[in-house]
Structure 1
Amino acid sequence: MYPKFTKGVFHLGNVSCITGYKSFELGIFKQDDKSVYYIKQALKKELQSLLDDGLEWVIISGQLGVELWGAEVVFDLQEDYPELKLAVLTPFISQEEKWNDQNKEYYELILSQADFVETISKEPYKNPQQFRNKNQLFLQKSHSCIILYDEEKEGSPKYFYEEAKRKKESDPSFDMRAIGFQDLQWIVEEEQW
């Protein structure tokens, strides 16, 4: 049903991954929440800057929240940058199994528009190691990452954030772009001007 991920595809070109908080961690329960607009603006700003440096692929794991909003931003940018592609690499099969129908529908819509969809672990959820494997794969395949995470508010992106910081220390060419709550506040203020 979905385009399939082929092993060689990410050896070509410039790859970035997007991750961050899940929507409920931000207290966002509706897609039309004004906060979603500002988060998308922040992601768009970073992606446009990476596109100027030759970005070709964006990878996400398909989590509700920042990752799926990032996918929507990629789809919007594809109108002006048709060479930009989105891959969804889920950490395990049926990650959406326990989601409500509205979230499942939204997820399916994103997957149906992605350029590649594949599952990293061919099993259902078993343990946190599947998330660690996903983080390692994303950091291994990416030249950059955009992460919505603020050290003042712990949450699920903490582990990825810490691993990305370690990668940045060992590989200074890795472009780590962290968006914090202050960055979002500046976007809100810019928009109000």
Structure 2
Amino acid sequence: MSRIWVTGYRAYELGVFKDNDPKVAVLKYALKQRLVEQLEQGMDWLITGGQPGVELWAADLATELKADYPQLQLAVFVPFEDFGKNWKEANQAKLAKAKSQADFFAATYKGDYQGPFQLQGYQDFILEHSDGAVLVYDKDFEGKPAYDDRAMTTFQEKAPYPVNRIDMEDLQEYANDYQEAINEEKWNS
């Protein structure tokens, strides 16, 4: 696999309203572990969207990982051109940062939001132009990623499409690992 779609919960769905929330560090730690696995298996494109939360955290991580994996490219796609224009200024800045860091940026539809068909078309486009996914989603904790999960499952009926899911149990294990790493770092200081 070379092109991996990374998506998942929006920040608000995880109760994250500030960048310094400890949950962000754990989520980025978990994502980084999974992305390194993907890189070791040949990923050279990380494809993500512009939603605040998992998608923009993944874009940040891609930029960070390029230091050790210079072959890694970042593509950021949004469902329409004016995506994010009504967001709070801080979230607009995060999207602008992801756009500026991306090796490729595009909207799947020209113009403003016109209807749900654009979101469906966006999913279809990403599925057709990726070789697998990393999805932060747990079926027991509904949220917007349920739509992506269903789209991926439907797509898997037509073509091989591996989905590497990170659920709440995985996140708890990563939280424990992250805390151990911090404690070890403090101990060794």
TM, length-normalised to structure 1? 0.89
For residue 189 of structure 1, what is the aligned residue in structure 2? 176
For residue 14 of structure 1, what is the aligned residue in structure 2? 2
Q: Do residues 76 (structure 1) and 59 (structure 2) align?
A: no
Deviation sequence 1:146-191 (CA, Å, 0-9, x none):
111110111111111011122234334x220111111010011122
Report SS of the residue matched to 1:164: helix
* Aligned match for 2:162, one of 175, 184, 193: 175
Report SS of the residue matched to 1:16: strand
Q: How do 1:102-181 residues align onto structure 2 when only pairs under 5 Å count? A: 102-172=90-160, 174-181=161-168
Deviation sequence 1:29-62 (CA, Å, 0-9, x none):
0111110111111111111111111111111121
Aligned amino acid, residue 154 of structure 2: R
Deviation sequence 1:96-139 (CA, Å, 0-9, x none):
11111111112111111110111110021111111111111111
Q: Is the Cα–Cα contact under 8 Å of residues 77 and 106 in structure 2 kept in the other structure?
A: yes
1: CA distance between counterparts of 2:97 and 2:164? 27
Report SS of the residue matched to 2:44: strand
TM, length-normalised to structure 2? 0.91
2: CA distance between counterparts of 1:183 and 1:167? 24
Aligned residues: 180
Aligned amino acid, residue 156 of structure 2: K
2: CA distance between counterparts of 1:29 and 1:123? 29
Q: Is the Cα–Cα contact under 8 Å of residues 168 and 176 in structure 1 kept in the other structure?
A: no
* Structure 2 unaligned residues grouped into runs of 5+: 181-189
For residue 59 of structure 1, what is the aligned residue in structure 2? 47
* Structure 1 unaligned residues grouped into runs of 5+: 1-12
2: CA distance between counterparts of 1:191 and 1:40? 10
Q: Is the Cα–Cα contact under 8 Å of residues 52 and 94 in structure 2 kept in the other structure?
A: no
Q: Is the Cα–Cα contact under 8 Å of residues 29 and 178 in structure 2 kept in the other structure?
A: no
Aligned amino acid, residue 164 of structure 2: R
2: CA distance between counterparts of 1:39 and 1:191? 10
* Aligned match for 2:13, one of 25, 36, 40: 25
Aligned amino acid, residue 152 of structure 1: D
For residue 6 of structure 1, what is the aligned residue in structure 2? none
CA RMSD across the alignment? 1.2
Q: Percent identity?
A: 35
2: CA distance between counterparts of 1:164 and 1:26? 22
2: CA distance between counterparts of 1:119 and 1:180? 29
